[in-house]
Amino acid sequence: MRHYFSTHLLWMAFHASGRAGRIEDDHSGEPTFDIEHHSYVLSAIASAAGFLEATINEFFQDARDGHGLTSDGYLARMQADAITAMAATWKGTDQGVKLSALEKWQLLLIFSGREPLDRGAALYQNAQLVTRLRNTILHFRPESVAFDEVHRLEELLKGRFPENRLMAGSRNPWWFSHCLGHGCAEWAARSGVAFADRVCGELSIRPHYQRVAEHWHGKPPGSWGT
């Protein structure tokens, strides 16, 4: 039996986003900071980025171990040359420790003889920004250099999702008060699954998170938080 943790992370991303959304729906009155709401948003962002990384790591580990290559296995539809390249890369890079998650996703396409995703397209940019936002949050330092980083993020993120409704009308800075709300959480979760769906669709493979979605909730991942 083999366990795939990526699906848990994706479920958490949509679940946390949904909880943040309900708190915003129930709010009325003056702008306010709610630590429970804030924790759900942070959890959704971290889980969405974690899902992207865990899923691609699982693919490469399966290739390295020769798991799921036949019958209805997750990698059964991939060419033998691609599996060989994935296994060699995983072994030669110490399990991809120095490769970013998106680089590994791109390699999956290249090894399969497909064109890598356009780095300038919205699909790739959103996934990249989810990872960057996660890193900014988890590795945050209250220093001017960190402020410079979030200022650059603000320029990239503004307009991609609705702002935090708990802070509507507040004169607080956009980061983090207006940024970190349900809109951002939902954008992160949907961006992660959209990226993975696109690559898996290109390769005609059906990963674990797609197979168990209906067993867990009877509906696709994009509606898990509702």
Q: Is 25:166 a contact under the CB 8 Å cutoff?
A: no
Q: CA-to-CA distance for 188 and 72, rounded, in angstroms?
A: 30
Q: CA-to-CA distance for 223 and 226, rounded, in angstroms?
A: 5
pLDDT band at 141 (very low <50, low <70, confident <90, very high): low
Over range 94-101, report the average pLDDT.
93
Domain boundaries, the chain: 6-223
Q: Is 133:156 a contact under the CB 8 Å cutoff?
A: no
Q: CA-to-CA distance for 183 and 174, rounded, in angstroms?
A: 13
Q: CA-to-CA distance for 17 and 44, rounded, in angstroms?
A: 6
Asked whether residue 41 carries a pLDDT value surpassing 60, the answer given is: yes
CA dihedral over 115, 119, 120, 121, signed as positive or negative:
positive
Q: Is 185 left (phi over 0), alpha (psi -120 to 50) or beta?
A: alpha
Q: What is the predicted pLDDT for the residue at 79?
A: 94
Q: Is 33:50 a contact under the CB 8 Å cutoff?
A: no
What's the full length of the chain, in residues?
226
| Percent of the chain with pLDDT strictly greater than 70 | 90
Over range 110-116, report the average pLDDT.
97
Q: How far is CA 148 from the centre of its chain?
A: 24
Over range 47-58, report the average pLDDT.
97
Over range 130-158, report the average pLDDT.
79
| Percent of the chain with pLDDT strictly greater than 90 | 81
Q: Is 68:62 a contact under the CB 8 Å cutoff?
A: yes
Output the DSSP codes for 23-62.
HHHH--SS----HHHHHHHHHHHHHHHHHHHHHHHHHHHH
Q: What is the predicted pLDDT for the residue at 146?
A: 54
Which ranges constitute the DSSP H helices of the chain? 6-26, 35-65, 80-92, 101-111, 122-138, 144-157, 182-203, 208-217
Indicate the pTM of the whole model: 0.92
Asked whether residue 1 carries a pLDDT value surpassing 80, the answer given is: no
Asked whether residue 145 carries a pLDDT value surpassing 50, the answer given is: no
Q: CA-to-CA distance for 107 and 94, rounded, in angstroms?
A: 16
Asked whether residue 17 carries a pLDDT value surpassing 60, the answer given is: yes
**Is the model more confident about 195 or about 142?**
195
Q: Is 75:62 a contact under the CB 8 Å cutoff?
A: yes
Asked whether residue 51 carries a pLDDT value surpassing 50, the answer given is: yes
Q: What is the predicted pLDDT for the residue at 2?
A: 83
